[in-house]
Chain A
Amino acid sequence: AQSVTQPDIHITVSEGASLELRCNYSYGATPYLFWYVQSPGQGLQLLLKYFSGDTLVQGIKGFEAEFKRSQSSFNLRKPSVHWSDAAEYFCAVGDWEYGNKLVFGAGTILRVKS
């Protein structure tokens, strides 16, 4: 069965510092991987996705993620965090780009200190 682990429940970074949020997945075939962001009381916004090809994917708001098959990881990065990035971040894995369910990780809450 598919599963996603986000080892960090909370992360605090200073504004302007770099950020890396960890995500490990368990899936037997080629995974379809996603990162979503959720601000308090809001829905889930798609930041970026990986289906195939270049293992470094660029997303919105200056985020990027790198797929490492050997480590079963899909970590999210941003070189310089802004206060507006404070939110909860979810990694998810699906079995193909269109259909059926996504399995979500538990989320990482990002706090940004000024």
Chain B
Amino acid sequence: EPEVTQTPSHQVTQMGQEVILRCVPISNHLYFYWYRQILGQKVEFLVSFYNNEISEKSEIFDDQFSVERPDGSNFTLKIRSTKLEDSAMYFCASSEQGKYFGPGTRLTVT
């Protein structure tokens, strides 16, 4: 069964550094998403992406964040100048009558 994949599984970075989280959505899906889950908290929507542009973003998704679909398969989330509070599990999802989530990237900002 096709699945969403994410790399890396765990990323440790220093405060102020830039990170790029990578996702490969399910191949025939057209809608892509990033969510995050801070430890012990709810899963929160960050951004949705369709037809090579952002279709909706939350208030969390400020200028520090950007998304890109650089080729036909990858979908990336870039976090510029990371902060301690960006430490979380970041989930990519793609959608075809139900959102299918990847296994997540645990980002630790030190």
Contacts and interface: CB of A to CB of B under 8 A. Distances in A.
Q: Would you call the interface of chain B mostly helix, strand, loop, or mixed?
A: strand
A42 B58 contact: no
B97 A44 contact: no
Interface residues of B, number: 27
B87 interface: no
Q: How extensive is the interface on chain A, given as a class?
A: 20 to 34
8 closest Cβ contacts across the A-B interface?
Answer: A101-B45, A43-B103, A44-B101, A104-B43, A49-B98, A97-B97, A100-B56, A43-B101
Contact of A46 (B43, B48, B98): B98
Contacts of B96: 98
A50 to B, nearest CB: 10
Interface string A85-108: 000001010100111111111110
Contacts of A63: none
Contacts, number: 60
A55 interface: no
A46 B100 contact: yes
B91 interface: yes
B98 A97 contact: yes
A49 B96 CA distance: 12
A96 to B, nearest CB: 10
A100 B42 contact: no
B31 A98 contact: yes
A1 B4 CA distance: 29
B95 interface: yes
Given A42-B103, A43-B104, A106-B42, A99 B98 contact: no
Given A42-B104, A98-B96, A102-B99, 9 more contacts: A43-B4, A43-B102, A44-B43, A44-B93, A44-B101, A46-B99, A92-B43, A100-B55, A104-B43
